[in-house]
Structure 1
Amino acid sequence: MYPISTPSHAKLLRPSALPLHDRGGGARTVALVSPALGATTFISGITEFDPGTEIPFHSHNCEESVVLFEGDAVMDIDGREYALQPLDTTFIPANVVHRFRNVSHSKPMKILWTYASPQATRTLRDNGEIRAVALEHGKQ
């Protein structure tokens, strides 16, 4: 059963053994580090995008870092497009509007994301809706 706890309360997480949350629109997330594990300063997870999937423009109430694990990704930010290669890493300050897209028509794209707050939110640019990131990923 995962996560595995050590005597020091450290945790070992195996994404393949954790629940996969369908976010709709061709994106699925495995939540990794969360307050449920004892995290107090950040959360993280892995999201996979089907071919051609893009998430809407949005911002967060805290800093975010994204690492592209695999696939053909583009980050849209500041009115520009940036092609990403596997292991490229982004740093996005709080309240900066951005999005990620899988530009492949045949391969999935996979990212590791980290938010600098367990209370991270996502604000959609087009309608101003604010969502708790943890709720989007099946965590409360």
Structure 2
Amino acid sequence: MDEHIDNSRGVVLRPSLLPTYERGGSARSTPLVGTEIGAKAFLNGMTVIGPGAAIPLHTHNCEESIVILEGEAIAEIDGAQHALRPFETSWVPADIPHRFINASDKTPLRILWTYGRTDATRTLVETGETRPVVAEHDRSRVPQASA
């Protein structure tokens, strides 16, 4: 991030300069807006899902929106499957099971995610395990803006 940023007046984030975290299952995420830069109402970031891979079926404690940035996806929302192309967007209410599948066996899928709370959680449908979304990222390594 640029030096001498006053977070109370906003920041510019440059994903190419931010750390990316392996999430397993051929997915890696780059957190963007979060509490460490002053966000009070939402979190967002990007995830790349490898060819033919999928995020496990899960729910959240808040609403979520996904924008397809690159590639083609299958959004499975509450048992229904929807084909999505770049710039198409999903909205999923809290507690609705969903997942995103890379529809290509050759190219990565890049998504932009936004959660409606800074304390968003993910609960895996298969195991019932619930974790904070931010636990998927080593937040201690996220650069802090200087005041």
TM range, normalised to the smaller chain? over 0.9
Aligned to 2:106: 106
Alignment of structure 1 residues 45-56 onto 2, 5 Å: 45-56=45-56
- Counterpart-to-counterpart distance in 1, 2:138 and 2:51: 23
- Counterpart-to-counterpart distance in 1, 2:6 and 2:49: 32
SS at match of 1:99: strand
Structure 2: unaligned runs, 5 residues or longer: 141-147
Structure 1: unaligned runs, 5 residues or longer: none
Does residue 33 of structure 1 match 2:33?
yes
Query: After superposition, what is the alpha-carbon deviation per residue over 1:58-104, rounded to whole angstroms, capped at 9, x for unaligned?
Result: 00000100000010100011221100010001111000000000010
Displacement of 1:7 in angstroms is 7.8
- Counterpart-to-counterpart distance in 1, 2:131 and 2:2: 26
Aligned CA distance change for structure 1 residues 7 and 39 (closer, same or farther; 3 Å): closer
Aligned to 2:143: none
Aligned CA distance change for structure 1 residues 105 and 38 (closer, same or farther; 3 Å): same
Does residue 87 of structure 1 match 2:83?
no
Q: Residue 106 of structure 1 aligns to which amino acid in structure 2? A: K
| Contact 1:3/1:14, CA 8 A, preserved across alignment | no
% identical equivalent positions: 47
Aligned to 1:130: 130
- Counterpart-to-counterpart distance in 2, 1:46 and 1:90: 14
Does residue 15 of structure 1 match 2:15?
yes
Q: Under a length normalisation based on structure 2, what TM-score does the superposition of the two structures give?
A: 0.90
Matched residues, number: 139
- Counterpart-to-counterpart distance in 1, 2:104 and 2:7: 44
| Contact 2:8/2:38, CA 8 A, preserved across alignment | no
RMSD between superposed Cα atoms in Å:
1.4
Aligned CA distance change for structure 1 residues 7 and 32 (closer, same or farther; 3 Å): closer
- Counterpart-to-counterpart distance in 2, 1:131 and 1:3: 31
- Counterpart-to-counterpart distance in 2, 1:133 and 1:25: 16
Q: Residue 80 of structure 1 aligns to which amino acid in structure 2? A: A
SS at match of 1:11: coil
| Contact 1:63/1:93, CA 8 A, preserved across alignment | yes
Query: After superposition, what is the alpha-carbon deviation per residue over 1:89-120, rounded to whole angstroms, capped at 9, x for unaligned?
Result: 11110000000000101100000000011100
Q: Under a length normalisation based on structure 1, what TM-score does the superposition of the two structures give?
A: 0.94
Q: Residue 51 of structure 1 aligns to which amino acid in structure 2? A: P
Alignment of structure 1 residues 55-66 onto 2, 5 Å: 55-66=55-66
